[in-house]
Chains A and B, each alone.
Chain A
């Protein structure tokens, strides 16, 4: 079996060894046709890893107390040994920055390189969501711009004023993304040049809007005038940035920065299962290839299998370790399953997946990685085999019923239902309440009305009141939040401000 000598037998890593492993892994990845950004591999200490953690994994970030809070809790858990740090962190940028912890063993470093630098990296470069919504070339520049801009604002307007805006924006961060429009690519220079113009222009726009809307006549006929905005807007931060009457230009710019970063992070939330599944599939495949070529020893392989098994472990629902479905486990199993369906389809697979059963697996997987996000990926590829393997079952929880009901299990009748429900579970549109800007009372008290379109009668959590206070802080006039049932009837309403 050993055609070549193993690269090393020591579990200590060194820089030459890192280079050697990286070269071998790059070669194998290329043989498998993985298309990646160039890699920038950075070795860091555990403290630095905690720093990186605390700021959403971004290499540069503005300052905010919430990151300090994050850091403190990570530090506490880590020091007490309640939590291990992730072995790696990878940033969707070009070149693709990946952090390796210095505490890792040689094998772990190799695993991380395969996982992050070739797995995640190729996903970032080729998945349609990332291609549409992020621009890897510009992100680091943009983050630098954002950090500098915000610290400049802190100097000029005071930390507290800036913190207030950031707090409010963070509360709405999940509602600061476009789902259907492509953002223009940005670079540091352009951004700085355009920022000033934009600020002035925006302010003039807003003034004009409100000039136009100052009540001219008190006649009732204007009641029928068209609503503003003409169409509901789901990107709340965008709407606020463009329309909030009282914001200063610098405040608008901060709203914009938070919105842009939210947009950049948005695809990650949509592809947790796929992205981790893809990266795990590739570290598994690449490490096995290294082993087959005799480049790593049996000892390395044992260590690898132990780590890998832990990563893809799915505790059952009644285990004390259970905290939902493990995206690594589900993603990896599905990717392996697609490979299996391509290579050794059963009769069942041929019935369920006639178009991929027996097709070349590399091409099929590549197509999958490029064109799906979690919900569509599951809707398309979750096979009966995987459902059986995970022993998935579906529980209906209806507050109008006394008891919970098992609606589907892993049998012939249940597959479709489980696939459908699991896909729904990863549909962010269902997970987050659907809240949109409904109208602005432009002719009256300038109040802003948000509408929550209720789905399955699910109510908003209590914290909504607090969030509304943040919206009020940004908008400056009265803010109303209405919950609307599917028939368009307002069921519940809360107001903030005067």
Chain B
């Protein structure tokens, strides 16, 4: 006797707890993998999940088993031309197994799995040591706003629209009684004619009966029915936000090595995340510079190397020009993030602060500057400190590791919270 049960509606993800346990246990490895992944992914790519690779040896579950060596006899199927006593050379690399697919199941391939977007961001934020409030704000999906959107057949009593409902009821009553009323009219007319003609009692009584029946039928149509009810409807639409442009400025002179660039990348990524949460559309402009500035795409921005001196003002000039040409400040919220190791041509630093104070800062929402590895703050740092004194929306920070990045934005995140 069998019993058949439909379990499809039972909760799935019975293994969710086990998955969390797994992520927790290999936190260290996953963090490293996430960190590597950030180096490899685009600044504007904050929505996709990520493939994480962990070396197999880190998560092996050891058991006692035989190693290669010793003497053993193995049976295989599908003999073609071997005969007893044949001697064949030991295949390479297959100590013991005769080179054929191992049945020990001890492959040392790396363990690869997908981290969801949320999990990925969580690890990324952890790397940056973001405060929880900021984390939730950044990880949040698009916010919605509820707006009126006509009428609906379902709803809650407070949203009932009475006039609309009664209109519906009236229409229904008219529609449902139309045929009967037309017939009634005819019958009444006939009756009146019969009465005038003085027809016999029985015919008139018959007619009267039919008339009564029709009247009852019309009366039986309810005045209002549940299907007449109309409710005010509201729908959620994405919160209307405006557009922002983010300028990424980076020094690519010889002294900026890949480590510094990767650190800078996290800085840009964090700002981008912030902007993409707060604005419907976010443009990114990459400007790299050594002695001359150049607008480039992301690939070139992070991965090409140049040598030579450093003139920071060239980048600032270019940014100013781009703002004038393409991003009028009445239409765009303009943010800028600059990363550098502090090197600058000494005579140029004054230019920079002048450019910033007079031609750039008035149009900007926020300017964030990080200086990587500045053991000896140079001219640029000092000039920028002056700018920071005059403009509260100018933030600067010297950083050595990813955890130092967040404080640059502290004010920014606080303001919008």
Contact = CB atoms under 8 A, between A and B. Distances in A.
Given A48-B8, A399-B70, A460-B66, A26 B2 contact: yes
B83 interface: yes
B76 A317 contact: yes
Contacts of A132: none
Contacts of A325: 75-77
A324 B101 contact: yes
B2 A393 contact: no
Given A76-B112, A405-B87, A458-B69, A432 B13 contact: no
A418 B75 contact: yes
B259 interface: no
A171 B61 CA distance: 7
Nearest to B4: A41
Interface in A446-492: 452, 454, 456-464, 466-467, 470
A54 interface: yes
Contact of B78 (A55, A159, A318, A470): A318
Given A39-B3, A40-B3, A404-B90, A397 B71 contact: yes
Interface string B61-94: 1111111111111111111101111111110000
B48 interface: no
B88 A72 contact: no
Contacts of A55: 14-15, 18
A201 B276 CA distance: 63
A95 B15 CA distance: 24
Contacts of B101: 322-324
| Consensus secondary structure, chain B interface | loop
A154 to B, nearest CB: 10
Contacts of A462: 67
Interface stretch (A219-227, A368-376, A409-417): A409-417
Interface stretch (A63-71, A264-272, A294-302, A346-354): A63-71
B12, B65, B75: most-surrounded residue (chain A CB, <10 A): B75
Contact of B2 (A40, A324, A456, A463): A40
A117 interface: yes
A441 interface: no
Given A71-B15, A71-B19, A409-B82, A402 B90 contact: yes
A174 B64 contact: yes
A487 to B, nearest CB: 16
Contact of A403 (B68, B72, B87, B112): B87
Contacts of A458: 66-67, 69-72
A400 interface: yes
A41 B7 CA distance: 10
B226 interface: no
Interface in A296-318: 314-318
Interface stretch (B21-29, B227-235, B298-306, B324-332): B21-29
Interface string A85-114: 000000000010001001000000000000
Interface in A379-424: 390-400, 402-411, 413-414, 418, 421-422, 424
Contact of B4 (A43, A73, A172): A43
Contacts of A391: 77-80
Contacts of A392: 75-77, 79
Contacts of B60: 463, 466
B62 A467 contact: yes
Contact of A461 (B59, B67, B71, B100): B67
Contact of A316 (B1, B8, B77): B77
Interface residues of B, number: 66
Contact of B63 (A42, A79, A171, A411): A171
B132 interface: no
Contact of B75 (A76, A175, A413, A425): A425
Contact of A404 (B6, B98, B114): B98
B24 A73 contact: no
A165 interface: no
Interface string B207-223: 00000000000000000
17 contacts: A19-B2, A51-B12, A67-B18, A68-B19, A68-B23, A73-B113, A170-B61, A314-B77, A317-B79, A391-B80, A397-B90, A405-B85, A431-B66, A435-B64, A458-B66, A466-B60, A467-B64
Interface of A: 15, 18-19, 22, 26, 38-45, 47-48, 50-52, 54-55, 63-73, 75-76, 79, 95, 99, 102, 117, 159, 163, 167, 170-175, 314-319, 322-325, 390-400, 402-411, 413-414, 418, 421-422, 424-425, 431-433, 435, 452, 454, 456-464, 466-467, 470
Given A72-B111, A171-B62, 20 more contacts: A15-B6, A39-B2, A41-B2, A54-B15, A71-B19, A76-B114, A163-B25, A167-B61, A170-B61, A318-B80, A319-B78, A322-B100, A322-B101, A391-B77, A391-B79, A399-B68, A406-B85, A457-B71, A458-B72, A461-B67
Interface of B: 1-8, 10, 12-15, 17-26, 59-80, 82-90, 95-98, 100-101, 103, 106, 111-114
